[in-house]
């Protein structure tokens, strides 16, 4: 079993994975203060956050230098989406990130689009 030191990055164990529970990253908070969904777009504003933010906040902010979806940030951080939303909401609240809902250029319930997605999923199986 190999455990990295606290200053070496995230606490990981080769067998167990992350040793710090994900919700400790968000101080136990489970609800973001900003409405975000998986495809909400985020982008850094260039403003420096005031006060202390954890390393996960810094990683998320770095990832948002270009427009990126919430789901992509969660995958990059290797954290549950619920935790990631709380972290991103912290950054929106302090003015370091802006968010906007995705722009649909078509009807998201368009039958042809849904059939194309279904066909693609069937090809993957």
The reported pTM is 0.65
Q: What is the pLDDT of residue 108?
A: 62
Predicted confidence at residue 115, as pLDDT, reads 84
How far, in Å, CA of 26 to CA of 34, rounded?
Answer: 14
Where would I find the beta strands (DSSP E) of the chain?
A: 12-13, 17-18, 41-44, 68-69, 97-100
Per-residue pLDDT, 2: 42
Do the beta carbons of residue 102 and residue 41 sit within 8 Å?
yes
| Helix, strand, coil % over all residues of the chain, rounded to 5 | 40, 10, 45
CA triplet 111, 101, 55: central angle to 5 degrees? Answer: 130
Residue 23 in contact with residue 83, Cβ under 8 Å?
A: yes
pLDDT value of position 66: 94
Kindly list the averaged pLDDT for each block of 10 residues, start to end, along the chain of length 125: 46 53 65 86 90 87 93 91 91 92 64 82 83
């Amino acid at each position: 079993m190999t455990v990295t030191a606290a200053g070496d990055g995230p606490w990981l164990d080769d067998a167990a994975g992350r040793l710090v529970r994900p919700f400790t990253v968000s101080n136990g908070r489970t609800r973001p203060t900003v409405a975000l969904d998986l495809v909400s777009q985020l982008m850094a504003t260039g403003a420096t956050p005031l006060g202390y933010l954890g390393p996960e906040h810094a990683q998320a902010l770095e990832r948002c230098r270009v427009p990126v979806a919430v789901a992509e940030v969660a995958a990059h951080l290797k954290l549950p989406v619920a935790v990631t939303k709380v972290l991103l909401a912290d950054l929106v609240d302090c003015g370091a990130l802006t968010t906007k809902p995705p722009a649909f250029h078509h009807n998201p319930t368009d039958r042809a689009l849904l059939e194309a997605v279904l066909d693609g999923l069937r090809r993957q199986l």
